Amino acid sequence: MPPDPVILEKLKEKFPTEIVSTNDSGEMPVAVIKKAEGHSILSFMKEEPALRFDFLIDLTAIDRQKLGGTPRFEVVYHLYSVTLKHRLRLKIQLPEEDLRLASAVDLWKSANWMERECAEMFGILFEGHPNPKKLLLFEGFEGYPLRKDYPIDRRQKIPVPEEKL
């Protein structure tokens, strides 16, 4: 399905200063935005009647360390509208010094586990997350395995519970 140009136009209209770049040539429209208004843009995407992105398909991050360019991290949201049947990729840029981002769990419950996974894999802090615990890794795991500077052959000792009889 060809990308719908309305999506990016609406976004540009509403948040003209927050957009870093947009791309309409791929399989779905892409918008790279600044971090400051991240949550209000997501909320706008969900509520705006012409967009109605009621479905958060996927949430992940990319460590762009070896791709060059700044900032280092990008949190990627894949949105889908069940009623209007269109998609959007929204990227929020995060510099390495400040990895805090507002949680989207209040908008989509599906963000809950995906944010937890993203947090433990990349070290991104989702502020306001209801349950910021580790999900896939054990408690006490050090480092962020999906970052490019985490070596693939690093091993860690699994802590043994002390209350063993």
Partner 1 sequence: MRSRSIENLPEESSTRRMVLNIGPSHPATHGALRFLVELDGETIAKADAEIGYLHRAFEKHTEHSTWSQVIPYTDRLNYCSSMANNVGYCRAVETLLGIEIPERAQRIRLIVCELSRIMDHLICIGAAAVDLGALSNFWYLFNAREQIYDFTEKLCGARLTTNYTRIGGLMRDVTPDFLDGIRQVLKKLDKALREAGRLLERNRIFMDRTQGIGIISKEEAINWGFTGPCLRASGVPLDLRRAEPYYHYDEFDFEIPIGTRGDTYDRLMVRFEEIRQSAKIVEQALKKIPDGPVMTDDRRVALPPKQQVYGSIEGLMNHFMLMMDGITVPKGEIYSATEAPNGELGFYIVSDGGHHPYRIRVRPPCFLMASAFGKMIEGGMIADAVAVLGSLNLIVGELDR
Q: Per rule CB under 8 A, is residue 76 in the interface with partner 1?
A: yes
Which residue has 């003209």 as its token pair?
16
Q: Per rule CB under 8 A, is residue 85 in the interface with partner 1?
A: yes
Q: How far is CA 18 from CA 12, 35, 93, 128, 155, in A?
A: 8, 8, 11, 22, 41
Q: Per rule CB under 8 A, is residue 62 in the interface with partner 1?
A: yes
Please report how close the Cβ of residue 136 comes to partner 1 at its closest, in angstroms.
4
Q: Per rule CB under 8 A, is residue 155 in the interface with partner 1?
A: no
**Distance (Å, whole) CA 103 – CA 22:** 23
Please report how close the Cβ of residue 40 comes to partner 1 at its closest, in angstroms.
19
Is the CB of residue 57 less than 8 Å from the CB of residue 80? yes
CB-nearer residue toward partner 1: 75 or 102: 75
Residues in contact with partner 1 by the rule CB under 8 A: 1, 26-28, 54-58, 60, 62-63, 66-67, 76, 78, 82, 85, 87, 89, 108-110, 112-114, 121, 134-138, 145-146, 150, 152
